[in-house]
Chain A
Amino acid sequence: MQKAKPIELELAVVNGIELPGHWNRMFEPRVISEYDLSVLDQVTSIEGAESLGYCYQCGKCTAVCPVDTVGDYSPRKVFRRTQLGASLVDSPDLWLCTTCRNCLRVCPKEVNMIEIMPAVREQAVLEGKAPEELLTAFENTARYGNPLGEPPRKRADWVKSAEVPVPVMSQHKAPVDVLWFVECYPSYHPRGKDASVALARLFNALGVEFGILGTEEKCSGDSQRMAGEKGLFEMLAEHNVKMLSKYQFNQIVVTDPHAFNAFLHEYPKYGGQWPVQHYTQFLAPLIDQINLTRPISKKVTFHDPCYLGRHNGEYEAPRNLLKAIPGLDLVEMGHCRETAYCCGGGGGGMWLDSFVRDYTSQRLSEKRVREAVEYGADILAVTCPYEVSRFEDAVKSTGNTGKLEVRDIAELLAYSAELI
């Protein structure tokens, strides 16, 4: 067994600056010589998972990891357990990370769980070690183009309840300004559909020239990618890029921050390069043109979606929309913006509810709902399609029914504009 060598130099020179021994340790791997590192090496040899080896156990991640507040998981612990010889591929740790990105924000060594998790999970999926409920979501997505297993032909059925024109590109046969990428939960989930209807009416009220792909749209696949099914993601990306390429439009507007992330960072690799905005970013500059006549005289707090905020830096657009609603009193929770909590749905968490429940004391969504109640909010405003159902379930399970409502920002705007 080759033991790793501790690096504790008397004097290190970093970028031309002399650093004395007692703190150059901060820049070099911490003492790990007492351990057989073969298991760690197995993990860090996976493409994408290299940075796990950079961890020097400072624990900054543990302080901010949302999962650590409800369970015994944090990136530091992942490193430590791997260092001690526990295989990550076989560990429940592998499925607890929601890829919320809070650890990477504070990590001095850039241990990147956003890359480590998908890479190692891919290995686990290949070895047949992924939880069954997650595989069902994969199978549904591969077969039906959505993780819910809903009929692909009914993807645009929600449009009927919009009661305003929602042009489907294949029938529209004309260029549009905005191609609205609706995504799965907004197409199929009852509460997701409510937000879609609200947004469709807002677009119509604003006179936006828009269209949707309808049944030609499939899941953007970003969360499946984070959950370890890269091949599935690629298949979906190729499909969506091909469908989108058939039509003329100026920009894409997405309902889902996860789709936003895919269009910003991943789809260009598959030839899909279009300007893309989250719908809150699209609406924010147009807010003066929306006739917000009906006041919402409530205390409202906003949950920053991980993939809109921390992943992609947008914190203001949703807040500007909320502030424009007459009577609305926006209160911030302790965990907000960069430090926002996570709903637990990202990185495949949406499809691992039962699995995660076994390893946590409460759901992340429940923790978040309790925080919103603590800050006196009447309404928890959200803007990610995973969240309405997750938080509404959490409101019930924490016994807060009647105390806290969960509303998508699109719903709040449409309500204030008397469109719903």
Chain B
Amino acid sequence: MGSILVVTEILGGNISDTSRELLSKARELSQTLGAEVVAVGFGSESAQALARIDADRAIAVTGQAVEQYLPLAYERSLLQVMEQESPQLTMIANTTMGLDLGAGVAATRGISLAAYCNGLAVEGDEIIAQSQVFAGKLLAEAVLPSEGAVVTILPGSFPASEVEGHPTVTTVDAVSAPGMSLIQVLEPEKGDVDITRADILVSVGRGIQDPENLTLADELADAIGGVVSCSRPVVDAGWLPKARQVGKSGQTVKPKLYLALGISGAPEHLQGMKDADLIIAANTDESASIMDVAHYGTTVDILDLMPALTERLRGE
């Protein structure tokens, strides 16, 4: 019987929501394929966390090398597990860990990878992976080879598994990898504000064009009683601190109002804000991905819109 290997992430003794999403899909595929679901987790807390999940078997990789997240030790240890299991399919979430491990283990093992996957289906005896490419503008369908493939899966693609199971948990020793070590963990810079607690976010993206224009966003945020947040390019350009970033590598937010100004809506950004109660987006491109999650949209120039809104709010 073939197996589907699900690489889980364990945070504070529990497996992550994204890992649960992978498990639910793995269970669905396993029923069609007649494969068993094998979960793998890392660290001393993993055995306990894995014991309650919906998998047929679980492998807890333990040892000093994997006690803290280290890309090299995790990769070497995962390779060892894959060597033993030879899974038909290996599922990894497209988080930093997925970016570290997915393509690396596929290359080392000489097998194929489908990245940015947001759909998996069985057709006959083939697994079809659907991937999101070109910043969400296109989807691609790939036929995965039957001899084993890796898929890195976008968080939020599948419902999280709520099923409690009783897999047999085996413990294996981590592979030590002295080539890489942890110096320190840096907690999120909270900065002056916590954007996750704001009811209204005035969020700016690349369309802001110039750091000087942030004044307009500040004024609008001030007038509307909200906080300024932003998308990744604004942080990368050094215009706003990391603490203000919404999206995969930043904060996940769920405000009552999200004003997306000059944000095109890369999948990583949408992941961090799509559950806001009301999303109003201004972007010069009506076909930008942000418009697919926004409730209202406009193509007017944000440099005109921001002062126009501020003026009205102040006039009240």
Interface string of B189-225 (1 = CB under 8 A from A): 0000000000000000000011111000000000000
- Report the Cα distance A358→B213, complex, angstroms: 12
The majority secondary structure among interface residues of chain B is helix
B209 engages A357 (CB within 8 Å): no
Q: B209 — which chain A residues lie within 8 A by C-beta?
A: 133, 136
Whether, in the assembled complex, A355 has its beta carbon less than 8 Å from a beta carbon of chain B, the answer is yes
- Report the Cα distance A355→B212, complex, angstroms: 8
Q: Top 9 nearest A-B pairs by Cβ distance? A: A354-B212, A354-B210, A133-B210, A354-B213, A357-B212, A133-B209, A132-B210, A358-B212, A136-B209
Q: Determine the residue in chain A with the shortest Cβ distance to B237.
A: A132
Q: How far does the Cβ of B233 sit from chain A's closest Cβ, in whole Å? A: 12
Q: How far does the Cβ of B25 sit from chain A's closest Cβ, in whole Å? A: 38
- Report the Cα distance A136→B212, complex, angstroms: 14
Q: B212 — which chain A residues lie within 8 A by C-beta?
A: 133, 354-355, 357-358
Q: How far does the Cβ of A352 sit from chain B's closest Cβ, in whole Å? A: 10
- Report the Cα distance A91→B213, complex, angstroms: 22
Q: B213 — which chain A residues lie within 8 A by C-beta?
A: 354
Q: B210 — which chain A residues lie within 8 A by C-beta?
A: 132-133, 354
Interface residues of A in 104-133 (CB under 8 A from B): 132-133
- Report the Cα distance A354→B216, complex, angstroms: 12
- For chain A, which range describes its interface: under 10, 10 to 19, 20 to 34, or 35 or more residues? under 10
Known: A132-B211, A354-B210; 11 extra A-B contacts, CB below 8 A, are A132-B210, A133-B209, A133-B210, A133-B212, A136-B209, A354-B211, A354-B212, A354-B213, A355-B212, A357-B212, A358-B212
- For chain B, which range describes its interface: under 10, 10 to 19, 20 to 34, or 35 or more residues? under 10
Q: How far does the Cβ of B277 sit from chain A's closest Cβ, in whole Å? A: 32
- Report the Cα distance A309→B145, complex, angstroms: 70
- Report the Cα distance A47→B68, complex, angstroms: 60
- Report the Cα distance A133→B208, complex, angstroms: 11
- Report the Cα distance A357→B213, complex, angstroms: 11
Q: How far does the Cβ of B9 sit from chain A's closest Cβ, in whole Å? A: 38
- Report the Cα distance A408→B244, complex, angstroms: 43
- Report the Cα distance A112→B13, complex, angstroms: 72
Q: A133 — which chain B residues lie within 8 A by C-beta?
A: 209-210, 212
Q: Determine the residue in chain B with the shortest Cβ distance to A357.
A: B212
Q: How far does the Cβ of B177 sit from chain A's closest Cβ, in whole Å? A: 40
- Report the Cα distance A354→B210, complex, angstroms: 7
Q: Determine the residue in chain B with the shortest Cβ distance to A396.
A: B304
Q: Determine the residue in chain B with the shortest Cβ distance to A393.
A: B304
- Report the Cα distance A358→B215, complex, angstroms: 12
Interface residues of B in 159-215 (CB under 8 A from A): 209-213
Q: Determine the residue in chain B with the shortest Cβ distance to A136.
A: B209
- Report the Cα distance A358→B212, complex, angstroms: 9
Q: How far does the Cβ of B113 sit from chain A's closest Cβ, in whole Å? A: 31
Q: A358 — which chain B residues lie within 8 A by C-beta?
A: 212
- Report the Cα distance A133→B239, complex, angstroms: 13
Q: How far does the Cβ of B195 sit from chain A's closest Cβ, in whole Å? A: 24
- Report the Cα distance A358→B211, complex, angstroms: 12
Q: A136 — which chain B residues lie within 8 A by C-beta?
A: 209
Interface residues of A in 351-410 (CB under 8 A from B): 354-355, 357-358
- Report the Cα distance A57→B209, complex, angstroms: 39
Interface string of A127-143 (1 = CB under 8 A from B): 00000110010000000
Q: Determine the residue in chain A with the shortest Cβ distance to B209.
A: A133
Q: How far does the Cβ of B137 sit from chain A's closest Cβ, in whole Å? A: 14
Q: How far does the Cβ of A192 sit from chain B's closest Cβ, in whole Å? A: 14
- Report the Cα distance A392→B257, complex, angstroms: 31
Between A and B, 13 residue pairs with Cβ closer than 8 Å are A132-B210, A132-B211, A133-B209, A133-B210, A133-B212, A136-B209, A354-B210, A354-B211, A354-B212, A354-B213, A355-B212, A357-B212, A358-B212
Q: How far does the Cβ of A112 sit from chain B's closest Cβ, in whole Å? A: 30
Q: B211 — which chain A residues lie within 8 A by C-beta?
A: 132, 354
- Report the Cα distance A357→B211, complex, angstroms: 13
Q: How far does the Cβ of B37 sit from chain A's closest Cβ, in whole Å? A: 47
